[in-house]
Structure formats: C-alpha cells, structure tokens
Structure 1
C-alpha cells in the first residue's frame, strides 16, 4: 500500500473514531508516552533552570484572539485561552509543548476536530514518538505518530508543531541538548570528579625507622588504623615514627570556573542573558528593562511569532483569516520597566495624544472609567483632541467673531 493510501486511510479512521462515542486520546498522555524521566532535564540543574524559565515565561503570557485590533471569542479562541482539552489548562498545555521544544527540539500537539472540522481539543504528545515526512504522492507534510496501540498518520494541518531551527533538508528542529552534548558531558565529569574527591578520606604517609622492631611496628600500624577508622582522635607519635598528610590536588575554584563556562554555553545556545542562570559576571545592563529587551528581541519574539503563525494557520479557517482574525501574545508586561519608566512612558503618551487614560488603566490591569478618560488629549493643557481650538483657553476667536458679524 502506498504512503498516500495508508495516510488517507489512517486519517479517515481517526475522523470516524472522533465521531464515535467515548473515544479520545486520553490513553496517549501519561500511560503511553510519559514515564520515568532520566534525561538531562531531570538530572542537570542548569538545563532544568533555563528550560523552566523559558517555558514558564511563554505559558504565562496573555494570548487573545483579535479582529482588526478588537478582541473576539470563538471556539478556537476558547480552546487556546481557556480549555485546550479535558485534562489540562491552557498554561499547562503550552508549558508542556514549550518544554518539549526546548528539550527535544520539537513540540507537538494533535488538533482534534469535531464533525464540522472545527478545532475541538489540543492534545500535547511526546516528540520522541513523532516523525515528520513528505508524502511522495501529494508532496505534502505528514506526521507519523507511534502509539502503544498502533501507528497513526496525520496531515500537517492537524498537528500543531513548534521547533528550534531547521535546515532546508529537514522538518524536525535541532535539539539544544544535542548541541550541548559535549558541554554537558564535561560538566557531568567535573561534578562526578568533585564529588568523589570530596567523599574521599584524608590520606597519610606513615614512616618509621629501621630500628623499630616488628612488635612495635604492628602496634603502631594498629593504632593508626584505629585513628583512621574513627576519622580523627588522638594519635601518639612515638620516636622514630613520622606521619605526613598527602595533600590533595582538588581545588573548589576549579569547579566554580567549570560551572561558569557551562552556564555561559547554555545561555548562548538558548539565546538568553547569562544572568537568567544566576551568573552576573560580565553583565553590562544598566537596568532590568535593558536585559528584558534583549531577551524579548533575541529569544521570545521569534518563539511567540512561531506559535502565533501555527495557531492562525491551523486553528482558524481561511474565511476567518480573511476577515481579520488572528491570535496574538501580549509581551508588553515584560517591557514595562520600573515605576518611574512606566510613569514617563504613560505621561508622554497621554500628553501627545496617542494614549487615553483608559488605555493606561488597561495596561495596569485597572477597569476603564469611560467618558473623558476614553478620549485622546493634547497638551494645551490638556484638551480633547477633537475640541475646536477656538474654545481652548486663550484661543484665537477672531475668525469666529467675524463669521458671526457676517
């Protein structure tokens, strides 16, 4: 059977199964794919830290469906914002996808559709069991998913897929942990060496003169063995006997230097400021706002743009996209700066007519007031932007009086 026929049959079977009562993909999560994790994410503190911060930051961002800058709500928006599936919240769903993307290079979720082919659920699955391929019969991208009860094939429009960078010849993203393999192996070797050195007991050289008879020699050795076994205590050093400690070659500063190198390389691969990994050395940021600007520009903006385009393409139909619907993450909260910076920003916006007081209140999570607070003002100081200039204090009324005279 050709790939196309197999894929077409699998999709039809899946669609038929979705329509049947009581069928879902609940068996895919947990029991089928997720088990005991012995990977780098669960055994390396630096990797756990950076992936936790990236995934938590993205899944915490507000996302809304817009239509020409106005918020809207439909079935697709409800799935993305509130209830992606019966087992998890929107935060947990995007968090799982982003963790998988940063750990394995790819984050996948099956888009389950209803009888009208509208999105009904978004179900994250383990990227280790997914293989993208181009079908030679129709030239389109398909995904092979290996489940515990068989192999499934999904067209790319039914698979939400976000990834790290890819080349022209591949459809799977490159795993950052594969890029960091040598760094992580070196870091693990240093940690194991440091731990083994710290767990070792002190070593000594026991010297005694040639004139020490065998009975006295045995008594000296037994006494020293007691001292070593008790890890201290009193040791009488008799004439003709000399005890010297063997100096260790391990220095704690070597481990610290190795950890700094590891943090720097991890930060480079994940495109985050090294201060995100609690390393402040060599940082030249004059404010937290500058650091967040770099993070948003180099890491977050490309990532959320990928998420937005996947959501727009696969959860909205062509008619909705043509009507002006689109999903958008709000990253303004990450760039607000401190209180003084926000105050200057809002004040400049209000006085120059591109912010209303209600807009500012919305940015600060306060309810709008309405009335004059919803209007744009210009400094003069201050008037509604649509107010007749002759009505302003000190305004030129000569033209108006001349018109009245005529």
Structure 2
C-alpha cells in the first residue's frame, strides 16, 4: 500500500515523535492545518473569546486591573511612606510607550496572562541605562531559552518572521499559575473541554434558529418516488421552507404525502440549563462572581456587596501582587528597591456603602488612627487646613497607667471623689475632665 506524500506536510510529520498520520491525525495536526477539531470546534486562546462567558471574565479582570491607580512610593524612616514622582511611575500610570496608554498596556498584558498564562513586554533602555519604554509581545511569539551555562533568555519572533534574543533583564515577564515557577500554564488549554462545551451549546442554538422549525422533519409517501422526483422534492422543501424566516410558511404536499415534525425542543434537551451551567463553570475557572456576569439568579442586595469585596480580595488581589512584585523586581535597580516600590490602590473598591464607610471612618478617627485629611484623601477630597491633627478620647488611659490613675498619681484626688449628690457628681466629672485636659496638654 502506497502512502500519500505531500511535501510540506510529510516533512512536518517526520519531525513529530508521536504516531500522527494523515489517515489517523492527532489534535495538533488539525490545529497546524487549520482544520476544526471534533464537532467543528477547536478551542485556542483566541477562539475561546468567542464564548460570551470567557469574553466577560477576561474583560472584567483585565479592565479592573487596568483601571486601578498604580503610584510609586518612597519608604520613610523609621516607618511610613509618601508618594514620589519617578520615571517608572510615569510609565505605569501615563504611557509605557509612545503608542499606547497605561490603561491599554495593562489591559493587553492582562488579556495575555489570562488566556495564555504569561504576559511579556520588552524593556527599552536609553544610552544611560534608564528604562524609557515597555513594549508588549504576544505570548505565542516568545520562547523560553537557556544558554549552555544555564542563563535564561527569550527568543522573540516578530510579525515578519524574524527572530531576536532578549536577555532576561530586558524582559518584563509575569507568569501565571505554573509547575516550574518559570512559565505559566494556559488556563484555556487546561479547561478546554468546559469552554468547548460552552461554544458547542452556542453553536447548537445558532444552528437551531438558523434551520428553522422543520429540522428533523419526516415526509412520507404512500408509494415509491423516483430519483428525479425525490431530488426535486428535497430541493423544493429546502428552498421554500428551510430557514428562520420561512419557518411559519404553509407546506403544500402532493400525491398523498404527509409531513410529521420530529424535533426535540431545546428546553426538553435542557439546552438552557446547559448554557447556564457552563457560564457558572467558566466563572468558576476565572473566579468571577456570577452577578458580575449578569447572572442575578441567586443575588440579593445583602450578598452582592460581600461578593464584590470577595472578588477584589480573592480574585483581583493575587493578580495585583504578581504585578507589584514583578515591577519592583524588574523596573527598579538594586539601590532603588531598598527605598522605592509601586503598589496598586484598592481601598476605593473595599469601602462599601456610605453608611459602612461613615461608621468605619468614625471608629478610626476616634481611635486616633485617621485624621480628617486622611479620611478626605480616601474619599478623593482635597485636604483642609488643620485637618492633619489626630484626636483621642479623654475618658481612656493606657492600660499600664491604670493603677497609678486609681492611686491618684495620674489625676487629682478631687477628680476621683466627686460629690455627695448628683450636682456634686456632675461638678466632679467636669473637674476631672478639665484637669485631664490640662494634664494631657502639659504632658504633650
């Protein structure tokens, strides 16, 4: 038996170590030839975005990370921090390169890491060694390589097919979940069957409505039709009655033929339930709350706020930490890393409703943890004169001074005696308060 020889494909097959042939092709061969796998559905990182659930999850996560402020801070001695103007801050918050904004850059990088498990950006340096730009690279064009000495570098293939090597220090790389700590795995490939089922249900629904209501119908004849008559009847039925726009036309049959419909309604086949479950399945993969995907079946006014907070803490925060640690490692030199760092601001997403914020701010203000300007800053308001002072209640004393307080050493004994009647108690309390203020002022 002679084997079919196609020059390009045959050479490609000879390089593979598996037993894939043209007569028994493996899945990678379908992908190489552009042939859909299975039921005309082949899931790749790009085709997965055709699923509305995948598209929604990727948009929510990427837009959330891209929209958060990302300032650069300087550490203060002995503790504390303050914002500083730094060239890295300009790249991260305004324009990482001359062709895109910071939002577009971070959004693109998040799309790459969510779909491919990795995102890459080549770091451009000027003649002085300062970073001047970050250029994102599609993950499928990057290969992880090592020199003979074990030093890592990246081989990048450009759109015109040319290749160039990028050293490790010049590549801004954020890996997702992986096995070796060097390269992340593609979530789309690991959850391919779940996404494939979601695409299959969408395709089924589209084909059902495209074919109209006569899908699976049976036309019977009391006798036997000749081949020309059968072809003529089939062509007539297809031209006149197939399609959603022709689904309600009156069907005319001749020679005693009868028409019987034999379709299974989508609801009986649990079509809608399957689509709903796949949406939840994909939301589970990306850890996105269902209500953010417009699924409000189990959402209430009381749990949506908690789900939104949980989304920031358990879904978005891990991605932010990946970004922050890679930024501080790759974009600051050894000296700057000791005193400078970048950090996302997420307090605005965790504030809750107005009543919850007011109660929180009041408690922190009464503890002396927040000043008025601290509160105004968190509410995106400008500071006010004299708003940087911190206040504490006068009816509280440190625990280690409690014994001295009751012995009379911390406050005058007259303030502790009070009066014999209600009036005396009020006067004693007022005296204690006034004395406490004087003592606090003197001590301060």
TM-score (norm: length of structure 2): 0.69
Structure 1 counterpart of 2:390, from 376, 392, 405: 376
1:5 is aligned to none
1:11 is aligned to none
2:203 is aligned to 192
1:319 is aligned to 335
Say whether 1:159 aligns with 2:171. yes
2:315 is aligned to 299
Say whether 1:177 aligns with 2:188. yes
Q: How does 1:224-373 map to 2 (within 5 A)?
A: 243=258, 245-252=260-267, 254-282=270-298, 286-322=302-338, 324-371=339-386, 373=387
Structure 2 counterpart of 1:46, from 53, 60, 66: 53
Q: Is the 8 A contact 2:45 2:115 kept in 1?
A: no
In the TM superposition, what is the alpha-carbon distance from 1:228 to its structure 2 partner?
Answer: 5.1
Matches of 2:307 and 2:347 in 1, distance apart?
A: 14
In the TM superposition, what is the alpha-carbon distance from 1:208 to its structure 2 partner?
Answer: 7.6
Q: How much is the aligned-residue C-alpha RMSD, in angstroms?
A: 3.5
Q: Is the 8 A contact 1:289 1:336 kept in 2?
A: no
Aligned to 2:343, what secondary structure does the other structure show? strand
Q: Is the 8 A contact 1:111 1:122 kept in 2?
A: yes
Q: CA 1:54 to 1:398, structure 2 compared with 1: closer, same or farther past 3 Å? A: closer
In the TM superposition, what is the alpha-carbon distance from 1:344 to its structure 2 partner?
Answer: 0.9
Matches of 1:347 and 1:40 in 2, distance apart?
A: 51
Matches of 2:334 and 2:249 in 1, distance apart?
A: 82
Q: Is the 8 A contact 1:110 1:160 kept in 2?
A: yes
Q: Is the 8 A contact 1:289 1:335 kept in 2?
A: no
In the TM superposition, what is the alpha-carbon distance from 1:349 to its structure 2 partner?
Answer: 1.2
Matches of 2:190 and 2:251 in 1, distance apart?
A: 54
Matches of 2:438 and 2:368 in 1, distance apart?
A: 26
Aligned to 1:109, what secondary structure does the other structure show? strand
Q: CA 1:246 to 1:112, structure 2 compared with 1: closer, same or farther past 3 Å? A: same
In the TM superposition, what whole-angstrom CA distance separates every residue of 1:40-99 from its partner, at most 9, and x where no partner exists? Answer: 254221111110111000000001000121001122222122221111111111111111
Matches of 1:355 and 1:65 in 2, distance apart?
A: 22
Instruction: Show structure 2 runs of 5+ residues with no match.
Output: 1-43, 76-80, 224-232, 397-410, 413-428
Q: How does 1:96-245 map to 2 (within 5 A)?
A: 96-137=108-149, 139-147=150-158, 148=160, 150-168=162-180, 171-203=182-214, 243=258, 245=260
Q: Is the 8 A contact 1:311 1:327 kept in 2?
A: yes
Q: Is the 8 A contact 2:45 2:188 kept in 1?
A: no
Matches of 1:78 and 1:233 in 2, distance apart?
A: 65
Per residue, is there more strand in 1 or in 2? 1
1:34 is aligned to none
Aligned to 2:98, what secondary structure does the other structure show? coil
In the TM superposition, what is the alpha-carbon distance from 1:381 to its structure 2 partner?
Answer: 9.3
Matches of 2:187 and 2:45 in 1, distance apart?
A: 17
Count of aligned pairs: 345
Matches of 1:154 and 1:161 in 2, distance apart?
A: 12
